[in-house]
Chain A
Amino acid sequence: MPSESTRTNHGPVGADTLIEIDHVSFGYEPGRNVLNDISMRFGRGQVTAILGGSGCGKTTLLRLIGGVHRVDQGSVRVDAEAIDTRNAEQLFRLRRRLGMLFQFGALFTDLSVFENVAFPLREHTDLDDAMIRDIVLMKLNAVGLRGAAMLRIAEISGGMGRRVALARAIALDPELLLYDEPFTGLDPIAMGVTANLIRKLNDALGATSLIVSHDVQECFEICDYAYIMAAPGVVIAHGRPDELNASADPQVRQFIRGEPDGPVPFHYPAPPLAQDLGLGA
């Protein structure tokens, strides 16, 4: 169980809060909550990691911040303004301020690498083609893919696709960056470069970054603060990386060290295997 101090305080102390998740519950189907009464705070200018195993509601949380779904209970506030998913104008204003890297890239398969990165620039600015070209090439250079600018999406690997998606997410230099599993499918070199890029971008742009991931060590190296979530959509601990590394909480220790045995069960709830196989008395 988390320590008392981390339980009562829902976020980084002293940081100016950009996003506040206040007692939020949410489920895609009635009676089956993905998130259960969670509260978090994300400090402006900070890199915050949301860590947790598969299916604990991390991606859903990012979608709630982006206003994709309406919360069932509680509220999500950005700059102290509660997100109302029925208010199209407010959603438009919010989304103009954010860039999101999707778990599987979500690249437009009918466009080239170049056009994917140029997409937000063409949609939201009146820049001329020469300026767009320069910006796109700089963004692609940052992720190491300037040479792949003219390739079709079908011609690049999954890892390259995620880097293109990252270049697209930062194309408009957003104020808030949401990264959904940014390290999945990357080779060690690309992973290190991407992690450093996330940190550098955050500091250079004065942005606020949220990273949803299960790569504990990569996230701890670059984040200022971290939340650890577990099924069924609850926060089990939060704190600075050094605090979490030193935590005596068995659930936190099991997750950080990747141990198979501990308070977090590996198996989905089921009757004993022998019973399912029809063995024994």
Chain B
Amino acid sequence: MNWLAAIGRFALGSLRALGHHAFFFWELMRTLPTSLRRPYFAVAQVHALGNLSLLVILSSGLAVGFVLALQTYYALATYGAADSVGLVVNLSLVRELGPVVTALLFAGRAGTSLTAEIGLMKAGEQLAAMELMAVDPKSRVLAPRFLGGIVAMPILALLFSAIGILGAYVVGVLMIGLDAGNFWSIMENGVDVRRDLGNGIIKSIVFGVICSFVAVYQGYEAKATPEGVARATTRTVVISSLTVLMVDFVLTALMFSTR
């Protein structure tokens, strides 16, 4: 019956972890009104996290735009539909690649940085010092970073999509020779602001919540040792990435269903 006990232990452990996450999320939410009364801390985090990820987001967006235009052209040219390159690239970026790739890059760049920063603050007893100064670290340290991530994510996703479309223009129009007017007009006609752009922004806000929450949670719960912080940083990337990919499937099914 050892296997039954092992399954039971696993189930109980998973439920306990889920409960702990939910309780932590609730605690973080409770501190948000206090943090919003001093918005300059969150604004500073938007600036810091945005700057941290900007270069990697822009360069990746440009590269994705190049490749996407090239691959789409090869595929569509076979069916004589090469003029639709702009539309396909735009929809791919705005609906899917912009929010998802930005979230994955954000988790790898800014998320790990957040986890390591908070974990090292814990290891250096800075969070304990705050508590003993009657300052709630969740409100003063975690909440501004959490809010900063949520605000920064859609801005970065929009920039990713914008630079990706420019990249597709360079490859499709300037290099392959597609008609520039057609490239832009088919995009204007085929992309719906609410359905495509709006849902893309909602997705990136949801991913912002996921990535920021995972990063601050892992940092706060990290063991206060070098190995503990290293493991927490790794967990941030793995958990954020897998959660983003799974939630993306659910959101896509809900948002773009034709039924």
Judge whether A92 is part of the interface by a CB distance below 8 angstroms: yes
Q: Tell me the bound Cα distance from A99 to B125 in angstroms.
A: 15
Judge whether B132 is part of the interface by a CB distance below 8 angstroms: yes
Residue in chain A with minimal CB distance to B125: A106
A123 and B126: CB pair below 8 A? no
Nearest CB on B from A90, distance (A): 11
B126 and A108: CB pair below 8 A? yes
> Given the complex, which residues of A lie within 8 Å of B135, measured CB to CB?
119-120, 123-124
> Given the complex, which residues of A lie within 8 Å of B132, measured CB to CB?
66, 68, 95, 98, 100
Judge whether B128 is part of the interface by a CB distance below 8 angstroms: yes
B124 and A104: CB pair below 8 A? yes
A-side interface residues, number (CB < 8 Å): 20
Judge whether B63 is part of the interface by a CB distance below 8 angstroms: no
B133 and A102: CB pair below 8 A? no
Judge whether A96 is part of the interface by a CB distance below 8 angstroms: yes
> Given the complex, which residues of B lie within 8 Å of A108, measured CB to CB?
121, 126, 129
Q: Tell me the bound Cα distance from A109 to B122 in angstroms.
A: 12
Nearest CB on B from A97, distance (A): 9
Judge whether B134 is part of the interface by a CB distance below 8 angstroms: yes
Nearest CB on B from A129, distance (A): 14
Against B, the Cβ 8 Å flags (1 = close, 0 = not) of A50-68 are: 0000000000000000101
Judge whether B131 is part of the interface by a CB distance below 8 angstroms: yes
Task: Determine the main DSSP class of B at the interface with A.
Answer: helix
Nearest CB on B from A124, distance (A): 7
Q: Tell me the bound Cα distance from A66 to B134 in angstroms.
A: 10
B129 and A109: CB pair below 8 A? no
Nearest CB on A from B131, distance (A): 7
B133 and A120: CB pair below 8 A? yes
> Given the complex, which residues of B lie within 8 Å of A123, measured CB to CB?
133-135, 140
Against A, the Cβ 8 Å flags (1 = close, 0 = not) of B104-126 are: 00000000000000000100111
Against B, the Cβ 8 Å flags (1 = close, 0 = not) of A4-42 are: 000000000000000000000000000000000000000
Nearest CB on B from A208, distance (A): 16
A102 and B134: CB pair below 8 A? no
Q: Tell me the bound Cα distance from A103 to B124 in angstroms.
A: 10
> Given the complex, which residues of A lie within 8 Å of B131, measured CB to CB?
68, 95
B133 and A119: CB pair below 8 A? yes
A96 and B134: CB pair below 8 A? yes
Judge whether A82 is part of the interface by a CB distance below 8 angstroms: no
- B interface residues with partner A (beta carbon < 8 Å): 121, 124-126, 128-129, 131-135, 140
- A interface residues with partner B (beta carbon < 8 Å): 66, 68, 91-92, 95-96, 98-100, 102-104, 106-109, 119-120, 123-124
Known: A96-B134, A108-B121, A108-B129. 5 other contacts (CB 8 A): A66-B132, A104-B125, A106-B125, A106-B129, A109-B124
